[in-house]
Structure 1
Amino acid sequence: MSSIQVSDQTFIAAAPEHIAAAVARPDRWRAWWPDLAFTVREDRGEKGIRWAVTGPLNGTMEVWLEEMLDGAIVHYFLHCEPTGVAPDRVGQLDLATLNHERRVAGKKMTFEIKRQLEAGRAAGEPPQDRPIGR
């Protein structure tokens, strides 16, 4: 099991392909996770994207899009180890805080996309079929 292990989900009332396009923008990765570097391991199109992660953490991250009702559930997974910390010292870190910080970063990402893609949509109304501008 990874020391940093985040699993979260958020529903977005928008077409999965629009969500995928928003997630796949490398210029946004640095804004969402400024200290991490990413290598795309698998671009799954409207199903999401998987990365190898380096920087202060080393491991993997995934955003998986599960089509649901009139949108998609955005599943966010992060499985990493702190870089430069000996395995016998990892237990001395404040892992609860480190995990919390990464969970919050994932929520900021999904809520930013949610705000943009659902902008102007009244509750209970169908999604507007428009991508986020580049």
Structure 2
Amino acid sequence: MTGSVSEPALDIVDETFLTVPPGTVAAVFADPAAWRRYWPDLVLEVYTDRGDQGLRWTVRGALIGTMEVWLEPVLDGTVLHYFLRATPAGQPLTPARLRREFDRRARAAKAIALDLKTTLEDGRAAGEPPRSSVQ
């Protein structure tokens, strides 16, 4: 976390493995209603739609910057990469408040990923066939 004019105050990176194909994860993020549910205080505008590889957005609202979800196919699933590079809008934050904001945003990103993992995997472990294939 740094706070200069050239660098965003928040630079958050998260990675989570999901045992589902990238297209399954991409379908969740393709719906703008999901964006409002996951990031209610942000206004997102897609500037790169990479289909099953994810999305890149410009961010306005409580934060100003960019955000990306990159979906990387790995083995029998997807690594969900999340990047947020932004600065809080409005008055500059004290270092302590900036650390709390960083922690809040990082925890929220992981909570989204873990919720998707639970929902989309539906109990499937890595290496197991999808439930629809089990006989």
Q: TM-score, normalised by structure 1?
A: 0.86
- For 2:118, what is the secondary structure of its paired residue? helix
Does 2:88 match 1:82? yes
1:73 aligned to which of 72, 76, 79: 79
CA RMSD of aligned residues (A): 1.9
The one-letter code matched in structure 2 to 1:97 is R
Does 2:100 match 1:97? yes
Q: TM-score, normalised by structure 2?
A: 0.85
Residues 63 and 86, structure 2, Cα contact 8 Å, conserved in 1: yes
Does 2:114 match 1:108? no
Structure 2: which 5+ residue stretches go unaligned? 1-6
Instruction: Give the number of aligned pairs.
Output: 127
Structure 1 pair 127–97 and aligned structure 2 pair: CA distance change class (3 A): farther
CA shift for structure 1 position 120 = 3.6
Residues 70 and 126, structure 1, Cα contact 8 Å, conserved in 2: no
CA distance in 2, matches of 1:122, 1:80: 35
CA distance in 1, matches of 2:126, 2:13: 27
Q: Percent identity?
A: 44
1:121 aligned to which of 117, 120, 124: 124
Residues 67-96 of structure 1, C-alpha deviation per residue, up to 9 Å, x if partnerless? 1000110000000011112xxx44555211
CA shift for structure 1 position 125 = 1.1
CA distance in 1, matches of 2:74, 2:19: 9
Q: Which residue of 2 aligns with 1:33?
A: 39
Structure 1: which 5+ residue stretches go unaligned? 130-134
Higher relative contact order (CA 8 A, sep 6+): 1
